[in-house]
Amino acid sequence: MQQIWPLVEATLNVHPYMLKATLDLKAGKIYVATTEKTFDPFIIVKARDMLQLMARGVSLQQARRVLEDGVFSDIIKIGNLCKNRETFIHRRQRLLGPDGATLKALELLTDSYIFIQGKTVSVIGDVKALKAVRRVVEDCMFNVHPIYHVKELMIRRELMKKPELAGENWDKYLPQFKKNITQKRIKKKKPQKEKKEYTPFPNAPEPSKIDKMIESGEYFMTEEQRKDKKDKDLKKQNKITSMERKVEKSKIMIAPEEKTRVKSEDKEDLVAKIKENSDKKRKVNNIQASDFVDKKKKRQRLE
């Protein structure tokens, strides 16, 4: 800012504007004031906007356009629109697009200048362009891709060329995109702990190691006696574990219980059934033979 400051003073101290600007490096502030030769009182507001754009990183050539009639500026704050930093960076990159393609498309369709720096988006153009760009930027931060708005702006530009459709409603010509709203994950409720009864007295202190040793009697033993006691305890535990393992191994070797088969019918019943079946077969065979003989006799008579 200090290097460009002489050019800033020269642009503001020209005939139509005639403003006085001072740069205070100690306080870190810039002051703009009118002089006796200033004709338009509103120019001081436009000069303030120009300096705000320059503070956001906009070049002087683009920022000085704000001083012209019919040209305005807008600084859109996008830092508070996304809570997560990674999603914020990803969605800000959507505005730029691959090699700045989407940003250039928005600039051409809205006839404006857009500059993205940090957590702000600076826009220079007319009132319609500022409204359109603000809508695109805010929707992009709310997970709506800017390419949808680019398509809509392109269709609007083509419809504006036709004077026949000036009085008609353009909603039927514009694309309608549905927003895919993802359902938020329902957090599982943690089981509530049972509330203990209130007692004014504090909890009893837990016994320390020394107290436990006094209760068991180890505190009064010598080091050799303590070692002997530990060895005995280990031997007891080893015996118990070995016995449990033997029991588990013996379970594998035990044979499973045999299922008792239910006795079938007696032999006499089986013999009776077999005889009945054989008699039925004989009757069937006899009937078939007699029929065959009758058919033969009938044929002979006919002949």
Q: Once rounded to an integer, what is the mean pLDDT over residues 260-264?
A: 51
The predicted-structure confidence for 4-28, as pLDDT tens digits, reads as follows 888 988 888 888 888 888 888 888 8
What would the two tokens of residue 75 be? 């600084």
Bridge partner list, 29: 24
Share of the chain above pLDDT 70, in %: 84
The predicted-structure confidence for 75-93, as pLDDT tens digits, reads as follows 999 988 888 999 999 999 9
Q: Is the pLDDT of residue 162 over 60?
A: yes
The predicted-structure confidence for 19-69, as pLDDT tens digits, reads as follows 888 888 888 888 899 988 888 889 999 999 999 999 898 999 999 999 998
Specify whether domain 1-69 bears CATH 3.30.1370.10: yes
Question: Domain extents for the chain?
Answer: 1-69, 70-146
The predicted-structure confidence for 95-119, as pLDDT tens digits, reads as follows 998 988 999 999 999 999 999 998 9
**For residue 118, what are the contacts with CB-CB under 8 A and spacing of at least 6?**
56, 79
Coil, strand or helix at 171: coil
- Return the CATH number of the domain spanning residue range 70-146: 3.30.1370.10
C-beta separation of 64 from 54 below 8 A: no
Q: What is the pTM of this model?
A: 0.56
**Mean pLDDT for the chain?**
83
Give residue 280's identity as a one-letter amino acid code.
Answer: K
The alpha carbon of residue 23 and the mean position of all alpha carbons in its chain are separated, in whole angstroms, by: 47
Higher pLDDT, 286 or 128: 128
**Helices marked H in 97-145 — which ranges?**
101-110, 127-141
Phi, psi of 211 (to 5 degrees): -65, -40
What would the two tokens of residue 288 be? 């078939």
